[in-house]
Amino acid sequence: MRQLIMPVLFFMGASVGLFANDRPNCEQPPLTDQQIIDLVARERATRKDLPPPPSQAQTSIRRQGCYYVYIEQPVPAMPEGNVIFKINQRGMISDVQPGSPTCPEKVFTAAELQEIVNRARTKRPDLPPPFPASRTRVERLRCLYQYFEYSLPEKRGNYQVFTIDPFGEVLDVIRPDPY
């Protein structure tokens, strides 16, 4: 059951956009749609771990927080035919679905992930503050990390989940309502 809940939480946050604030203070200037399209094409030309493009597709690009979601939907549409890329603000592919992207050799420890979240909090006012007392847990979802903070004493729904890409960037945060 836990194995099913984690991907569902991740995709809810990525799809619905449960962010602390719609206007994060991103470090990099926004990328254009054409830059995103060119980046995916360039990476596909050099990387064997990325799925090939559909022969005909409709594409959509949206910004969520400081990262981008690039979706290719085959024409005609078919169930589970979409290819979804997540691209960080520096123009690096952080995740792709379906598929098994090659993860960087560097694997972050829980302490390194905590430091990444702490640094991001100082730069991005859209991220929630730490709980006065908490415990943490880390899970891996392909190349992405999910860094969980649970407020102490623990109470149902009093947590926050940071998604961190393999390059050390906080992509988003999921918090239950109300906050």
User: H helices of the chain, where?
Assistant: 2-16, 33-46, 110-123
* pTM for the model: 0.78
Average predicted confidence (pLDDT) for the chain: 86
pLDDT digits (tens, 9 = 90+) for 100-146: 889 999 999 999 999 999 999 999 888 999 999 999 999 999 999 99
* Max CA separation in the chain (angstroms): 53
pLDDT digits (tens, 9 = 90+) for 50-99: 999 888 999 999 999 889 999 999 999 888 889 999 999 999 999 999 98
pLDDT digits (tens, 9 = 90+) for 19-52: 334 456 788 999 999 999 999 999 999 999 999 9
Phi–psi pair at 123, nearest 5 degrees: -95, -25
Please report, for the chain, the start and end positions of each structural domain, with discontinuous segments joined by +. Answer: 22-97
Phi–psi pair at 7, nearest 5 degrees: -60, -35
**Spatial separation of the C-alpha atoms in residues 49 and 143, rounded to whole Å:** 13
**Spatial separation of the C-alpha atoms in residues 20 and 35, rounded to whole Å:** 27
Residue located via tokens 């960037």 = 169
pLDDT of residue 178: 58
Instruction: Give the CATH architecture of domain 22-97.
Output: Roll (3.10)
Tokens read off for 163: 């998604």
pLDDT of residue 19: 39
